[in-house]
Structure formats: structure tokens, C-alpha cells
Structure 1
């Protein structure tokens, strides 16, 4: 095992910059107990962050002070140089977003979803575990109350979420609070674990309190915020530029990226046409997909079959890649595949606890009307969310305690890095020979095509760019964009509705996948060219280990780090 292998000793002593980053991380963690739960930290299992305007300002003030102190530090080595670059970039954008006055409200990544999702990561086996869950459920209403105060505060300053997002989140809140909703399952789990009657009563009371809090929030959204909400979904170029930079870690040339997205989309459609010819000579892409859909060997029925299949595929991929194409030491060689307790649609990954006692997990949120699945469409998703995608990237960063401080490992999240790597990983699996089946290859191109279409849709709609003539021409409208997505996104109608709403409410995030992949491919191509010019062989496995050992950083910082 080389010194670059995750988990091996590098002999690097912590520096003044590391100590500063550790102190900042701990102070931020104290303000965000949910993140402590994500990391498996004990002591604040029942707490929530302060989502009120005062709580948000406290975080921003700490960040402003940190930026001032950051400028006074001197790096001791190249690792410090990257840390300082990354912290200045990330924290600076956090402050800029706070100062914009916006309180995030969307159907995927805002407080109403986050305060519930943290419950999924809490241990649920022992009596004490369920007491912790009950305690957090009791505190959930306070978290939502603070969040509502922030929504009102932003609205008073002219920052009101779009009507579509308000309606979507209100509907989600009601679904969480139903008798068979996401919150009700904790009481059932506690009863199965045979907890005491006293704890069961605490859990039932906490569940009722949380459910009522979501009903109250739904009522407020519908009756107080919705009348003020604008019909317009697009945020405009200036706001979009800031959000895009936050999600990618680089300032995009939006016009150039939009045109590149159109060209990339055309390239992927052509690649699919070639695969369709392999499936059946003369077949169109739609005809080839119909053939794949009709193949009984590619069918899964129900969520139990889906979960078993994705766990088996994930285990096979991990075994095949381990110590051959990637460094995957224990304990990061374990990944659990789960069916999510929600039914919103989408697939997501949650990382391991800091000590790996809770492994990394892939979650599939299945809409109730989706009862059958086809493996050819989902194989690449397992690689994206698991190995060599999100799990390999996030678990590697978790493991390298000997080289990176806690902020570098856990305190920095950049969608362009995380999602860019996962999308790069999809294409890499084809390159490594794991997608030789034409159906699985068609599925990979489907997912790549979807991400390219999102570049076009997201930038085009939010920035008011002109649509190509073949897509109706004129300035993009959401309705026109939805028809465009229906053409290019290989998902069910329920998933399409969810994704369409997601892009409109989370500006700049959807293109970060393809933008990040583009940067990873550019850096790799530059390294390969340099090796060739020097008459040396290019070690792809070592390149990936070096890259993933950086932790999650913005794309500008990534370029900076890989030049060091």
C-alpha cells in the first residue's frame, strides 16, 4: 500500500492552518447539531440548529470573522495552501448568499426536508436510541418555527420563493404528517424493537408534535406565503451567477456553458443512436428502449426486488474495483442500499459516520405509483451513487484523517465536485468495461443525456436565454422547458414533475453535475498529456487516489490543488 492510499500514514504533522480550520469546524458544528449526527458525534442527539433570522446571522457573523482571520494565516505546506484557498472560496460564498437575503425553500434541499432527513441517520435499535429520536421529534417544531420566522423575514425584504415551490413544499409537509407518512415509521420501529411503554409514549408524543408542526407549516405556506409568492420561477442572471458559483466553485461563462450544453446534448443523442443500432439494426433510440423495456430479464417488480438488486450490483462493483482500479481499504468497503421512507422520487447518498460505525448508504425514494423498474435504466445510477461514485469519493475523504483536517473532510460541500465526480464515475465504468451490455450502455448515455439537458434547461430558463428553433425558439419558458425535459429525461411522469420543480427552485445546482465532470475530464487530459510529453506512463489509479484525497473542494480550488 503506497503512502497515497486512503487510510495510510503520511507522516504529516498538523499545522497552524489545520488548528484554525479545526477550531472553525467545531464552532460551526456547535451551531449545527444535525451535522454532528451525520458524523456520528454523541451529545447533541436531540438538538436542532437555530433556523431563525438570529440563528442565521450568528452563523454569518462567525463566517465573517473567520474570513478576516483567514487572511492573516501563512501556509506551512501545499496542503495548507489548498486549505486556505478552499476556505476563503467556500466561506466567502456562504456569506454572499446570506447577505442576498434569500431563505431557501424548494422541494429537495431546504429546511423542511433537512430537519426530517436527519432522523433517518439516527441509530434506531436500543431504548436509548429511541429516546434520542423522541427528543429530536419534540424539538422539531421549534426548528420549523425558526425557519418560518426566516421565511417571513426574507419576505419582508422582497425575497419570496416562487409560487410553485411554496405549493410543492406545503404538499410535502402534509405528506410527512399523514398516518402512514415518513414520521409515523419511527413509532412502528420502536414498537418492533420492544421499547418500554414510557419510551413508546415519549415517541408517540414526539411524533404527534412533529406531525402537527408540519401541518402548521403547510397551513402557513398556503395561506400566508403563497398569496405573496411570485408566479415567475426564473431568478435572473445576476442571482443565478451567484448560485451557480456556489454550486460549482467557479464563475461560469453562462453563455459559453449554455452553448456547450447544447453541443454535449447533441453528442450524447448521437451516441445513443449508435447503441440503438447495436440493439436492433435500423432501430431508433425510442424503439431500442422499448425492446429493452420488454425484456423480462431486465425487469424488477416492487421495492424489495429493487433493493436486493441494487445491493447485489453494488457489492459486485465494489469487489471488482477494490485494489484493482481504486484504493478501497476497510472500512470504506461496505455500502448499504436502502429504500427511503419517503416517496418523493429521486436517489441520494448519505456518507458514513466519522468512525464508520454507520456505513455509507444509498437511498431510493420511490413514488407510490412506481411499482416496476428496469435494470438497464438504473445500473449506472448504482455506480453514480455508490462505487466508484459518491461513496468512494465521500468515504475516502472521511478516511484520510492523517492528512486532512476535519473541515477539509466534512465541512466543505461542493456539488460540482461531488456530482461531477459521480458523473465522471458513470463514464469511467464504461471505459473500464463494466457497461459492455448495450442496454446498460444505453442507460448510462440516458443519464448523461439527462444531465446535459439540465444544463440547457437550468441556465436557459433562469437566465432568459433564447431556446433553439427546434425547441420552439424565443425566450425559454418553464412550460416550454418541461416539454424539452420530457424529450430528454428517461424518467416516469411522477419523477419528471419532481425534477422539473426541483430545477426551478434550486437554481445553478442541476448543471453542476456536467460542469464538474467537464473539469475532471479536462484535468485528467492535461495530466495524461504531461505524462506523455515527459515520456512517462499515466497511472490512472494513482491519479484518482490523489484527486479523491483532496476532500470536497470547489472546482477552481481543484484546479489549483492539482497544479501544486
Structure 2
């Protein structure tokens, strides 16, 4: 039913000439084929049934496992196959070859609405673009100071390439990346009481991103109860930015702030569970900067990783408006990210395609953080 309703909505969009850009669909079928190709107990939908609570009687567990296997075979896999067929044969051939929101029907108004939703501000694309350029220049000065501190001989592009390619900044085993993330999270636990008078009761675990999502997923994702670290393509997951990522996605970022709101009995229920991107993402990005004061960055490279993440979000203001309102190409957007951040080529690609497919959302991070700093 869920898939059916979404396909109906997508068909309605196709009739209006309103689709996601074709380039953003490339490779996304992996998330479907991974489910389709995994039969029986190998399917990720079966995972919860492998380890059920001991309070469930053994006979009941056996019954539930049998029903789960039947549902996977009769419902889950066929439903995913239906969506895959729809995407490949019906939707993708008619998806727009253009990448700008401005090129969609009534696109200028659509992008303005997206920007207002995600930032809560009435700024024009030109104003946001200029804010981004100004902030990029400020952060670049901080980056150059770190380069000087580590006595790197060369310009900023050379330093960024050094960070992307030197083996000292990368692990070779997924568990090592998860362990490093857990270490940073526990370091925050040690100082959290000094900075936050109220702590959430809900704790969070640290998990790898599911394999069907990982190839095109972000570096991490956090929320109530969990922090998911992307262990796919480890040469694209630098250690120097892991502390900033962890503070953003776990605590005091998403896995800390969101439970606090949910547990706040002084708020009406809809506010406990409402997510406003400019606040949520602005707070998480603010948390990265707060890591300096909390002593979470132990080397100049980790401090640079935090600055690179700040630069990444400032660059989003330039790139998102560039793509959707100023006629930038995908290559232009990627080049700007490449020249100004220490993101890996894999992340630059997946991030650029994300901005193309999700107009306006990327604006919420840095503008939200700026509002918190001004408060």
C-alpha cells in the first residue's frame, strides 16, 4: 500500500512534468535489488526475528519466524520488485534531464517555498548565495591557520588532497571506524554534565549503515536511540572528521537533542515530535563547533576536520542556490566542493546528487547554526 501510494504520487508528478532529476536516480536501484536478491533469513527484514526477547515463548518465536519468512517471500520481495520495475521502465525514462528546481513547473515559487520551509527565513537565493561565499572566505582563513600549524608546505588544494589520500587518516576495517566513533561518544559523556544541566533518559547505540543504503548514504545519521556510521568505502571515511561527525549525529547533536524534546512534558505532543530542520541541523552543526570548547578535538587534523565540516555546510549555501537558482551544472557544484572542503570524491558525488534531488534542505544547517550563534 505504501509503495502503491508513492508510485501514484510519482505518476501524478510525471503528468505535470514534475520529477526528480534523472542523474539523482543513478545507482539508487541498489537499495531495492539488495532486498530483492536476499532470500529467506538472509533478507534484512528478517533481522529482528533472529534475536527476539526471551520473554517471548519459544513456540511463539517459531511461529513468528515462520510468518516473517512467508511475508518476506509473498509481500516484501514482490513489493520491492514492483517498485524497481516502475522506476526502471516507467519513471526513469521520463525523469527530467535538468537539475535545477527553477526548471520545474512554477520552479521559482517551488524553490522559494522549499527554502522557507527548511530555513524559516525569507531570504532570496542571491542573499543566501552571498552569505555562503562570505562564510566560505572566513572559514578558509581558519583552515590556512591550521595548515600553518602543522607546517604543511603547499597551498590549500594540495593540503586537501593530502588529507584525502594519506593512509594515516583512514582505517581498513569497518569495526575500527565504529570503535573510534564510540570512543568519541564516550568522551562526550565524560564532559556532558559540565555543559548540559538536563540529560536525556534515552540512550543511543552505534550501528553500521545498512548495506542496501550505504553506497549512496551520508557519512552518518543520528536520532533517538541510534547513531549510524557509514562503513562502506572506508577510503572515503577520514578519521580526522569523525569526531565532528559523531558530535553532530550522536551527542550533543541529534541523538541528544531530539530525545530531550520528546521527554519534555512541558511541550504539547506535536512539539515533542516535530522536527524543524533549521533548528535540528543548526543545533547539530553548532555542537560540532562546541566540540572545540569541550576539548573533543585532540589534533590539529581533527580541528581541521571540524573546520572542513563547517566549510562543507557553508559551501552548501553556495552550491544549493547555484544549482537551483543560478544555473550551475553538476560539475560546477562538485568542483566548488572539491576546491573548498576535505570531503572525499565519493562524498562530494553523493552530496551533490543529494542537493540536486532535495532542493533547499541543505540550506538549513549553516543558516540554523548562524541563528544560534546570534541568539
TM bracket (short chain): 0.7 to 0.9
Q: Whole-Å Cα distance in 1 between the matches of residues 170 and 125 of structure 2? A: 40
Q: Whole-Å Cα distance in 1 between the matches of residues 92 and 145 of structure 2? A: 48
Which residue in the other structure is 2:55 paired with? none
Match of 1:198 among 40, 48, 63: 63
Q: Whole-Å Cα distance in 1 between the matches of residues 112 and 238 of structure 2? A: 38
Deviation at 1:509, TM superposition (A): 0.5
Which residue in the other structure is 1:37 paired with? none
Deviation at 1:299, TM superposition (A): 4.3
Which residue in the other structure is 1:376 paired with? 240
Which residue in the other structure is 1:337 paired with? 206
Which residue in the other structure is 1:426 paired with? 288
Query: Could you say which structure has the greater relative contact order, defined with CA pairs below 8 angstroms and 6 or more residues apart?
Result: 2
Match of 2:223 among 317, 326, 350: 350
1:509 aligns with 2:361: yes
Which residue in the other structure is 2:105 paired with? none
- Relative distance call for 1:318 and 1:216 in structure 2 (3 A) is same
- Relative distance call for 1:292 and 1:167 in structure 2 (3 A) is closer
Which residue in the other structure is 1:406 paired with? 269
1:211 aligns with 2:57: no
Superposition map of 1:47-126 within 5 A: none
Deviation at 1:159, TM superposition (A): 2.1
Unaligned runs of 5+ in 1: 1-141, 352-359, 465-474, 524-564
- Relative distance call for 1:406 and 1:183 in structure 2 (3 A) is farther
Which residue in the other structure is 1:390 paired with? 254
Deviation at 1:278, TM superposition (A): 0.6
1:365 aligns with 2:230: yes
Residue 300 of structure 1 aligns to a residue whose secondary structure is coil
Q: Whole-Å Cα distance in 2 between the matches of residues 382 and 325 of structure 1? A: 17
Q: Whole-Å Cα distance in 1 between the matches of residues 39 and 142 of structure 2? A: 44
1:172 aligns with 2:35: no
Q: Whole-Å Cα distance in 2 between the matches of residues 339 and 426 of structure 1? A: 21
More helix, by proportion: 2
* Contact 2:172–2:234 (Cα < 8 Å) also in 1: no
1:185 aligns with 2:185: no
1:244 aligns with 2:115: yes
Which residue in the other structure is 1:158 paired with? 17
Deviation string 1:52-87 (CA, Å, 9 cap, x unpaired) is: xxxxxxxxxxxxxxxxxxxxxxxxxxxxxxxxxxxx
Residue 511 of structure 1 aligns to a residue whose secondary structure is helix
Q: Whole-Å Cα distance in 2 between the matches of residues 149 and 182 of structure 1? A: 31
Q: Whole-Å Cα distance in 1 between the matches of residues 14 and 40 of structure 2? A: 30
Match of 2:92 among 226, 231, 234: 226
Unaligned runs of 5+ in 2: 53-57, 103-107
- Relative distance call for 1:307 and 1:180 in structure 2 (3 A) is farther
Deviation at 1:515, TM superposition (A): 0.8
Deviation at 1:491, TM superposition (A): 2.9
Which residue in the other structure is 1:38 paired with? none
Deviation at 1:285, TM superposition (A): 3.7
Q: Whole-Å Cα distance in 2 between the matches of residues 521 and 374 of structure 1? A: 28
Deviation at 1:366, TM superposition (A): 3.1
Q: Whole-Å Cα distance in 1 between the matches of residues 146 and 300 of structure 2? A: 6
Q: Whole-Å Cα distance in 1 between the matches of residues 41 and 271 of structure 2? A: 33
- Relative distance call for 1:182 and 1:345 in structure 2 (3 A) is farther
Match of 2:190 among 305, 309, 319: 319
Deviation at 1:164, TM superposition (A): 2.2
Q: Whole-Å Cα distance in 1 between the matches of residues 156 and 355 of structure 2? A: 26
- Relative distance call for 1:293 and 1:440 in structure 2 (3 A) is farther
Deviation at 1:424, TM superposition (A): 1.2
Match of 1:492 among 334, 344, 356: 344
Match of 2:145 among 245, 264, 274: 274
Which residue in the other structure is 1:127 paired with? none
Instruction: Name the stretch that deviates more: 487-496 or 287-296.
Output: 287-296
Residue 165 of structure 1 aligns to a residue whose secondary structure is helix
CA radius of gyration, larger in: 1
Deviation string 1:300-320 (CA, Å, 9 cap, x unpaired) is: 332211112211210111221
Residue 362 of structure 2 aligns to a residue whose secondary structure is coil
Deviation at 1:329, TM superposition (A): 3.1
* Contact 2:46–2:68 (Cα < 8 Å) also in 1: yes
Residue 37 of structure 2 aligns to a residue whose secondary structure is coil
Deviation at 1:330, TM superposition (A): 5.4
Which residue in the other structure is 2:300 paired with? 438
